[in-house]
Amino acid sequence: MVSDLIFVVIVTILVADVSTVLALIFAGRRDPQSVLAWALLILAFPVGGFVLYLLFGFKYFKSREFRQKSSWDRTLLGRVLKGEELGVRDETGQNLASLESQPDLARMLWSESSAFLTAGNQVKLYIDGREKFDALFEAIDNAKQHIHLEYYLIRNDSLGERLVQALERKAAEGVEIRLLYDDLGNGIPRARYRKLTESGGHVSGFYRAWFPTVGLRVNYRNHRKIAVIDGTVGFVGGFNIGNEYLGEGPLGAWRDSAVRIQGGAVRALQLRFALDWNFAFGEELPRGPRYFPSSPRGGSASIQVVSGGPDTPFNPPRELYVKMVSSAKRTCYLQTPYFVPDGSVLTALRLAALSGVDVRIMVPTKPDQPFVHWASLSYIGELLDAGVRAFSYDAGFLHAKTATVDDQITSVGSANWDIRSFNWNFETNAVIYDSKLSKRYREIFEDDMTRCTEITQAGYEARSRAIRFKESISRLFSAAM
């Protein structure tokens, strides 16, 4: 009996593995490199590889879950571009004519993802968590009409509690509250939101997990970090809600980036929130002046809000990065905690460096995910001989997801330079066309370099066999993503 049971288990595992490999080959449009990597992992580790595939690689009902969202989004964005949504004006045409730098990039993002171009925005840059959260809570405290928040992580710690209490106070004052969190990233018990909802606030998880086993999935996460207050002030960047973003976590000091925006780009952030809220909560937000008020032009920055995810046929953040790198003439500086690029991004960086562009990449020395860290070093090593300079940030954890080119354009947002951000997660970046801010961010990058160790070609080639093995295994698995 025992031998028969073992035989049944073995046959079941083999059938599941073979079926999975066949599905990988013949179902869907996967990158051939990803198919090969998953097939090798599943065949080499029949049980572990299959479990990892279910967690990281299986496309859980993607077409069924997101087909309707994609249709809703395209319909509404199409109305915006046609001028049929008076509360969300598209002034891209006239703003392109006055854009001094990279109109081709702006036109591409407009054509591909309906990222309308706004002008006359005021932008405040934050690289320190305490300053950023002081500004966010000040905006929340001053809210008069509504507060819309969309975050990947909300920790069940003192900062998360501070946020919930602030929202409860504003809800009691009659301010509309809408909080959208990722169902995997939210750490606060749902019961803790009861007082907020009883006061009139609305709280929802994005892509909620109805069954515990499906809840283990790590794909299709809403990785965005967006706040919109009264339709006049917006925040976007890399900061989630948690004590570690104040430098109080196990990784110590925290280096991140975010921007506070006032101007027409806030309408774009509001529209992004509305599209996600409609999908998650089933409530269609009106597009009138209450949520999309007119914004005077009080600043010098032109901005596009660029979003992408598994509900779009192409991923605009990836195309944004490729186009930014390809358009660089002098400098291209990028910071990311996870550098696991696909072939298009890797090629763009290599060609830019070979063309004489000063390309610099900064990643953390202290990793929060060792597997991704070793994969990142593998890809960086491939670029060093093309002239790319790379730096590991030693003064804590580097979580910023930024790129700045030629002192003209800076991208700040949630999208990492990795395959998960390109293929699996919902991301949002602000693309800022402003020479003053871009020059400032280049100076910040150069200041960060004083707290870095440069990864040189000689040092990389001298790495130990153990590190080479870690890189090889990590890179193989990263290709499966």
Q: Which residues participate in catalysis according to the annotation?
A: 223, 225, 230, 399, 401, 406
| C-alpha span between 404 and 441 (Å, rounded) | 7
Task: Give residues with Cβ within 8 angstroms of 116, minimum separation 6.
Answer: 80, 81, 90, 91, 92, 110, 268, 304
Backbone torsions φ then ψ of 152, nearest 5 degrees: -75, -55
Closest CA to 122 of 20, 9, 316, 260: 260
Tell the residue number behind the tokens 């598994």, with chain if given. Answer: 310
What residue ranges in 193-298 does DSSP mark as E strands? Answer: 202-206, 225-229, 233-237, 254-255, 258-262
| C-alpha span between 74 and 68 (Å, rounded) | 10
Closest CA to 407 of 436, 371, 367: 436
| C-alpha span between 401 and 338 (Å, rounded) | 9
| C-alpha span between 79 and 421 (Å, rounded) | 27
Q: In this structure, what DSSP letter does residue 186 have?
A: B
